[in-house]
Each structure stands twice: as C-alpha cells, then as structure tokens.
Structure 1
C-alpha cells in the first residue's frame, strides 16, 4: 500500500515545488502555497499512519548506521529556517564540542523526533524564539545517553493536559485541530521511538509563556571528529520568554532574512550552489534512473534547478549501459522498474566498477516506506535511500551528504 500511495504523491508534491520556481501573480502564488501546505499535511498523515501501524504490530526496527550529530542538527535547522523567517521567529541550534562525534544508531528516526518537535514549536509560536540544543546526559561504556531540548515562546500547554498529548490521536482540545491542524499522532510516535532507543520524552510548559519538550536517547559512540563543531556567531535576537537551561554550548543562529523571503526551492538552490563552491565543485553529474515518466520529469527538473547535470535512464538495463560509458558523481536509482530493476542494476554497476577501479554513490529512490526496503537497497550495493515523494529539502540534503565535505556543508 505504501508504494501505491507514494508514487502518485511524488508527482503532486514535485510539480508543486517546481511551480514555485516559476513567475506567478500574487494570487497564483497564494494558491500554490495552499497546495504545498495541503500536500505536506497529506504526506505527514500517510507517514504517521504507516509508522503507527508498524509500531502497533511490532514491525518497526531501528537501524544501526554511523552519522555525524552536528550535521543532523544542521539539517534540522536548515529544514525549518525559511518557515521561521516567514513568521518572524528566531531559530537557534546549539551543539557542545563534546557531541562533535560520529554516533551509531537510527539517524532517520532521531531526525523524525526532532523535526516533529521543532515543527510543533513553529506551529504554536507566533513571536519570539525557538531553541534546539543537545547535551551529554550520561556516559555508558561505549554508549552515550543524549538529552535534546526544543524550547519555544509559544502558547503553552495546561498542566492537566501535558500527559495526554503523548497519546495517539490526542490534542489539548478540538479547537487546536481546527486552528493549527495535525492528527495527534506525532508525539505518540515520538514517545514510542524514544522508548525503542532506551530513552524517554516529556514536557515542561506554562500557558502563555512557552514550552520545553525534552527527550533522551542512547546511541553507540563512534569516532570523534577532529574539526570543531561548526559554530556561527549569533546575531542580535529578541530575548526569549522562556529562559533556556544554561549549557556550555555555542549558539548557531539562523541568519537574518532579507526583506522578502524567497520560496524554499529558490533558497535551496542558492544554498546548494554555495556548498558546491565551498566543496571545490562547479557542478555535479547525476545519472537518474526512473521508469515513471511523471516522476522522471519531476526529479530531473528539481535536480536541474539545483544546477546538476542530469543524464536520464528509463530502466535498469539502460542505466547499466549508460554508466559503463560515462562517469557520474552520483546515481539516483529507482527500485521497481521493467527490463531490470534497481537492485539488479546496482549489482551490475558494482561489478563494472570492480574492473574500472572506481565507486560511485548510489542512492535508492523508493516508494516503499516499510521496514526491509532500506536493507534490500543496502544489500544490493546501494549506499543510501530516498523515500518518495521527493521534496527539494530531502533531495538537497542527500546530495550534500554524499557529494560535499562536512566542513563545506556547515560553514
């Protein structure tokens, strides 16, 4: 069912993002913004229902992959930067040097919890500041317990309602759903994910003052990173009405916005080009393998809007032949295709590379969000996975992750 839902959604979400790149009248831009919000809400609902169903039947399994924690925090900040600017909010993120290391755990589920909490903070805050911070809570042999906090200066939550918000389909009251939207599933899923990572989640809140959502997770410790955690000097910002707990961390503010904030896709394009220059690249060459014509048009247009050189292939067999005769910086590989599927094509490409002495990152494009799809991709020789429907944010983040050094991404 995941594949059947996500494949048409990819065309809808992608085409809406491409519309944002075109010249439109003010009414047309408002229509597109409404369509964007509606499609994103639908996608969140689909994701939440699929996650909840997997949790309830015990089929959701955590991954063990290495990742750089400051890079993940940077991704969260970048994802919500434009939304914060559009509301006139200050979005801060801080990471202590002690956490400038590689961790081993489920990066994607940790990102899911953080984006849920930051998204909620933005939703319920009309002025002031949102702060994201991490800190070491406990050293456990080769593991580490990390505490994250997301503080806001929003509407706050009554004391007698704070426990219920972590139950499925629960909100403070029905008027919240009508005014702010949402399904009441996000915090319930976050609680389950925290428990699966040997942690917990909670909230401290005062009505009319703001809230601080906190959660803990246990991750395996990887290697420390030699370079210091990326830090930007803070710009003057309004004083938050909820004072954060003092911690020895350096703030990473969102830069001040221009008078008229551009659409996210335009900002993503600009940021991507800046990262390319910092990483010593003029452009990148992508082999895009996709059999669905609508998805091909969407993904190719998104990539080209970022300045990528795109070579299309309509199936795995065509992809293998094209790869044999050309050099690419990265391959985006659909998994389900006629002639030869993405898994078989990847195995063939890895065999070619064995003779040619090179290895190119291959990222799976899949509409399957169920457990096991990522494992199948990795077992075939792919390096990573993007789940449809693709968004500019997810696509840009993945390209940066595989093509640009960390220090260039976070400068």
Structure 2
C-alpha cells in the first residue's frame, strides 16, 4: 500500500521548481547588471537628464566637498607616513606634489560645482568626469612612482575609493560610470604590461578586487538609474493625472467648491498622518540600530572578563594539581577580580537598560541633598586615596538643602560622577589630583557640582561621552578606568527625574565640572535620616555565624554555589530545589529560620510571594525574606513580610551585607 505524498513535500522535490527559481534569479541578475535603456523620445530623455541633474545637484556638491576633505586627509597621512619611512622618503617630494595637484584639481572642481551652471546635465557630467579621471590619473602616477609593496598597500586602494565615489555619490548614468571603471582597469593592465606597475601577486589581487568593485558598483549605479527613470515616469504620469483632475475640478466650478474644501482638508490630514508615520518609522529604525549597537558593545565587553575568568580558573586548577598552592591562591584572587568586573558590568548594563526602557518608576520624597553627597564621598574616599586623589567636600554648614527627588538614583548619579573624576585624575600635573564635590543653592534650585583638575574633555566629545561604552583617552579599554557606562547611567537618571538636568563644562588638559540641578524644597517630615555607619566584612561574618537560613532556588548551579558560600560563613541552612521540597522542609524543621533566601520566579508558576505566605502560615508568623533574582525590580510584587530585593549577579559581600541587615532589622523589631 503506497502512502500519499503531501502536496507540499512533492513540490519541494520537484526539480522543475528549482530550475524555475534558478532561471528567475539569473534573469534578475542580468536585469540588475544591464544598462537601463533611454527613453524612446529624445526630448523626454533630455528632460529626464536635466531633472536628474537638478534633483541630485546638492548631493553631488556635498560629495565633491567630501572628496576634497578626504584627499586632504590623505595628504596629511602621506606627509606623516612617508617622512618616517626610509624607503619612501626619497619619493616624498613627488608624492606631495601629486597630492597637492589633486587638492588643486578638487578645489577647481568644487568651485565649478558651486556655480549655478552645475545644475545642468552637460556641465555636471563634464565637471564630474574631469575630476574623476584626473584623480584616477594622479593615483595611478603615485602607484607607478612608489616602490613595492607600498605602491599597492598605500596608494592602489585609492583607485577603489575613487571608483566607489563615482559609482555611488555622483549618480552618473550607468553607461558612463561603467566606462570609467573599464578605462581604469584597462589603464592598470596597460601599465602593468609596459612598466610592471605592481608585483605580480599584488597585480592579480588588485585587479580581482577592482573587477568586483566595478561589477558591484555598476550594479548599484544601474539600479539607481533604473529607479530614477521609473520614478520620473511615475511622476510624469502622476502629473498628467493631476492635470486631468484639475481640469475636471475647474469644469465643476462653484457646485463642487464645498467638496473641494473638504477634499483639501482630508489631504492635509492624510499628509500629516503619512508624515507622522514616516517620523515614527525613522525613530523606530534609529532606536533599533542604537539597540543593536548597544547589545554588540555590551556583548563584547561582557566576554572579556568572562574569558579572563575561565583562563584564571583553568590556571588555578593546574597550579593545584602541581602543588603550587601560593600561585593557586593568587590566581583565585584574580578570578574574584574578574568576577567582580563581570558583575559590575552586567549590573550597569541592566541598570541602563531598565532606565532607558522606562521600567524604573522614580520614588520622590524630600531629603537633604548634603546627605547623599556625604555618603558618596564616604563610599569613594578609600578609592580616591588608593589613586592618590584628594577628595574634598564644600557643603553649606548651617542650612539644610532639601530637594524633591529619588534619593537612590540621584545618589547613584553623584557616585558615578565622583568615581569618574577619580579614575581620570591627571597624575602628571605638578598640582595634586583633586576632586571637589559641592552643593550650591539658589532661590528655587539646588545644584551638585563635581569638579576635578584631571585630563578634561574636548568639546567635540561632549555629546559622545554620554553614549554607552564611550570613554575618552581609553582606547585599550582598561577596565581600571571604568566600563564606559557611568555617564550613560547619569544621563538616563537625570532624564528620568522631573525637572532635573545635567550640565558639563570642561577644558582639555585643565579639568571638568559636572553639575546636577534639581528642584529646591523646604524642610519636610519625610527627610530621610542618615544611614548607619558601614560595617566591616569581619563584623558581618561574625553576625552570621550560627544563623539558620532557608534557601529556595531552582537553578542547581546557583543553589550549589550559595550553599558553599553559606557553609564558609558558618551559616546553618536547609535548601530546596522547588516549592514542594520547601513545603516538606517547613513541615519538619525544629527551629524558626532567621532568614529565607529565595529566587522570585520558581517552577510551576510559583513566586517568592507564595514562599513568604507559606512560611507565615506554617511557622505562625512572617519570616524576613531576601529575594535574589534576575527579574526587573519594578516587577517584584510586595511580599507578606519584611524583605529586600537583590538583582543577579550579586557579589558575596553585598549578599552578606543584606543578610545581616534583614536579620538585625528583624531582631530590633522583635525586641521593640
């Protein structure tokens, strides 16, 4: 019994469909590479050529100016490169003479393209082709007089650039552009035969690439001309239809006056909607491109510390097997450093992504802005001392400076600015590197200034420094100089907060001043109190010894690593891989847990909220919870207990600090 073959599968195996597709692809290729036919009416052809020249006149002028700029840049490059090269130094005068000849030719060409007569087809083609052929001749001459292999590596590629310009930027007719390419290739072949222009290998490689440039460029030029001709025909047809429509409207006269007014209103609305749609499409494309660039840069920077971490771990394992325990300890320390850099970068990327996506909702309240400045200084003063930087504060001593803002995110912005100022301190100056953080108040506004006498920022970089992963004077991407995300986060924070703005003043070589402005408010009862002094790692470790913790984590790797860390801290624990195991542990434990550490989203649609509610029911009262999750903080729903949320990845020090804070908070509440 034969099974019926599905119609779709049969069509896939049908060789006739494949051959038809191949013929269709071949026909499309031939069409794209064929020179578009001119209009059959000579008068119509002349009108099209004049319209084409006028349509692209401004772009051609800009392209000529761009060619002058690029040629001048190559002049500077030749002067600096050839002067240092002993082989080429003997040809410096000849090369510079040819470069200056090209500059003179392009200046004359620019002067001609700026004249009104350049809008005509005949003048435009004459000027453009004169410039292109002149530059190609100059480049070929430079190739001929320059010793190998520099004539190929330094100057032969100029032919590609010139062909690229004439194929794409000047919108020439495809027949003319193809002629330029063929003439250029023929000139190269002739020069190779007569004067042995290039080494044999360089000649064949250069000719192969030039052939590809000519073929691809001709295809682009032919396609552009074909599109222009089709658009011109469509516009003429549309103009003809519009003429007929106007004649019909005139014949209707006064009877259709109201309809005409309504029609015009509708056209205006339609045009406005089309314009709005186009703007939205452009904005979406720009956002998508920026997102792709951001993800590419973030992926690159995340791979570096991850790669280093893998190598350090392998080296440490080899050292342990060889009995080199001191070396293994040093390598493990380097593993920790790579892990910290990786976590810092990932957290910064996540913070920036959350800020720019609008998922962060600011929590406004009134507080003394001096407090977050003092906290940032206290946090970063050890870092400043390690870099040999003096950190000073200039705060109003008597009056409090209350502002309405989000203390957490504004504090992050201040800390990022102070950290950046410390990292980019200029240690080569005679004066000691100094960072000054000050608070200034006016009648309605408060301002936080972060000043430094470091390397400064050139004015050309004022906009670029707020882009992700951009760093001035750090081309080697040294992670000790930061991640390139600090100012991006500052900019995103200030854009998120109402009536907040950031200002930059800087001079290269002298230093910078970043200013954060925000609304000024009177004293309010919700002014936050100062934070408790920072605890040492040893003190936190002592507070955790002997504590009992329940761990709920469905990821085996995270659960195992957390268990190992808790054991090293002397913490007693029971761990569950899912909600059912957690429920079994609650039914058998004999000691009330000091803390529950849980992921937010578990298997079987369970969350940290169910974990907290179950513990309250089974144990008779709520138990504090520490949620360690990769979920955005804004999506965490309130739990039925006292809790804190940490975003993965979390450093061991941060995890230990939050555990101690929650446990001591619960102890204080029980005592009260």
TM-score (norm 1): 0.62
More strand by share: 1
Aligned residue for 1:234? Answer: none
Deviation at 1:149, TM superposition (A): 4.1
Superposition map of 1:6-405 within 5 A: 27-28=327-328, 31-56=331-356, 58-64=357-363, 76=376, 80=380, 83-84=383-384, 86-89=386-389, 105=406, 107=408, 109-125=409-425, 133=437, 135=439, 137=441, 147-173=447-473, 175=475, 177=477, 184-198=484-498, 199-208=500-509, 210-217=511-518, 223-224=526-527, 269-273=537-541, 276=543, 284-306=547-569, 308-323=571-586, 325=589, 326-338=591-603, 340-352=606-618, 356=620, 358-368=621-631, 370=632, 372-374=634-636, 376=637, 378-379=638-639, 383-404=643-664
Change (3 A) 1:47 1:181: same
Shift of residue 385 of structure 1? 0.7
Q: SS of the counterpart of 2:526?
A: strand
The 1:83/1:202 distance shift into structure 2, 3 A limit, reads: same
Is residue 423–residue 482 contact of structure 2 (8 Å, CA) maintained in 1? no
Q: Which has the higher helix share?
A: 2
Within 2, Cα distance between the matches of 1:63 and 1:99? 23
What is the CA deviation profile of residues 270-319 of structure 1, one whole-angstrom value per residue up to 9, with x for unaligned ones? 24258x5xxxx976443222232321233234445455444433333333
1:25: Cα distance to partner? 5.8
2-structure distance, mates of 1:294, 1:397: 22
Contact 1:75-1:397 within 8 A present in 2 as well: no
Which string of whole-angstrom CA distances, capped at 9 and with x for unpartnered residues, describes residues 315-336 of structure 1? 3333345456432332211123
**8 Å contact 2:624–2:642 — kept in the other structure?**
yes
Q: How many residues align?
A: 342
Q: Is the 8 A contact 2:403 2:518 kept in 1?
A: no
Task: Give distance in 2, aligned partners of 1:102 and 1:222.
Answer: 13
Residue 386 (structure 1) shift: 0.7
CA contact (8 A) 1:153 1:209 kept: yes
C-alpha spacing 1:87/1:180, structure 2 compared with 1 (3 Å)? closer
- State the alpha-carbon separation in 2 of the partners of residues 102 and 321 from structure 1: 50
Q: Kindly tell me: are residues 35 and 100 of structure 1, through their superposed partners in 2, closer, same or farther at Cα, counting changes over 3 Å?
A: farther
Return the offset for 1:366.
0.5
Cα offset, 1:50, TM superposition: 4.1
Name the SS for the 1:343 alignment partner: helix
* Structure of larger gyration radius: 2
Deviation at 1:204, TM superposition (A): 4.1
Deviations, residues 55-100 of structure 1 (Å, cap 9, x unaligned) = 55x4332243889988866775676566445445555678878669
Q: Any conservation in 1 of the 2:367–2:407 contact (CA below 8 Å)?
A: no
Deviation at 1:134, TM superposition (A): 6.8
Give the C-alpha shift of residue 364 in structure 1: 0.8
Say which structure, 1 or 2, has more relative contact order (CA 8 Å, 6+ apart): 1
Residues 622 and 640, structure 2, Cα contact 8 Å, conserved in 1: no
User: Do the aligned residues in 2 keep the contact of 1:156 with 1:205 (CA within 8 Å)?
Assistant: yes
Uncovered stretches (5+) of structure 1, i.e. residues with no partner: 232-253, 255-266
- Structure 1 residue 399: deviation in Å? 2.9
8 Å Cα contact 1:362-1:382 kept in structure 2: yes
| Cα distance in 2 for residues equivalent to 1:166 and 1:345 | 41
In the superposition, relative to structure 1, how do residues 194 and 85 fare at CA in structure 2: closer, same or farther (>3 Å)? same
Distance 2:324 2:367 in 1: 39
Question: Can you give the 5+ residue segments of structure 2 that lack an aligned partner in the other structure?
Answer: 1-294
